[in-house]
A and B are shown apart, each in its own frame.
Chain A
């Protein structure tokens, strides 16, 4: 069964360092997302990406964040200068079309900023 894959599963980084989280969405899907979940809190939307550009972003997604689809398969989230409060589980998701379709999530990357 097709699945969304994320790497690494766990990343520890020092405050101020740049990190790149990687995702391979399901191959025929067109819409891609990043969400995050701080420990004990709700899953929150960060950004959506369609047709090689950001289609929507939340207030959380500030200038420290960027996304890219460098080739036909990968979808990345970069955090330029990590802060302690960026520690969270980051989930990638993809869907095949814009409405009335099931969202598939990856297993997540646990980011720990020390």
Chain B
């Protein structure tokens, strides 16, 4: 059974810092990995989908990397801003119909 772990559980940084969020998964036979953002009490906003054949995917200040063999992904956020404050979730699909297994998330607080 796939297990997804995210480290750290919480992170507090001053504005402008570059930061790295980590995600690990136990079963490396995945098609892709998706990073989401969740604001308090709100839905899940897709940030990046990185295919198993890719090593990196970029969107603006966000860069996700994937190392299938070691079961790890990182989300790099450049020049963090207070508006980046949210919980960041990673998820991997299980076999079959792409049902997702989620990590518990990293709660990020960026202070001005």
Show the binding face of A for B, using Cβ within 8 Å.
Answer: 6, 31, 33, 35, 41-45, 48, 50, 55-56, 89, 91, 93, 95, 98-108, 110
Contact = CB atoms under 8 A, between A and B. Distances in A.
B41 interface: yes
Given A48-B98, A89-B41, 9 more contacts: A43-B91, A43-B100, A45-B100, A56-B97, A91-B43, A100-B51, A101-B49, A105-B44, A105-B46
13 contacts: A31-B97, A31-B98, A42-B104, A43-B89, A56-B97, A56-B99, A89-B41, A91-B44, A98-B97, A101-B49, A103-B91, A104-B46, A105-B36
Interface string B42-53: 111110010110
A95 B98 contact: yes
A110 B51 CA distance: 32
B30 to A, nearest CB: 10
Interface of B: 31-32, 34, 36, 41-46, 49, 51-52, 89, 91, 93, 96-105
Contacts of A95: 98
A107 B39 CA distance: 10
Contacts of B100: 33, 35, 43, 45, 93, 103
A31 B100 CA distance: 13
B27 to A, nearest CB: 15
A104 B36 CA distance: 10
A42 B42 CA distance: 14
A41 B104 CA distance: 7
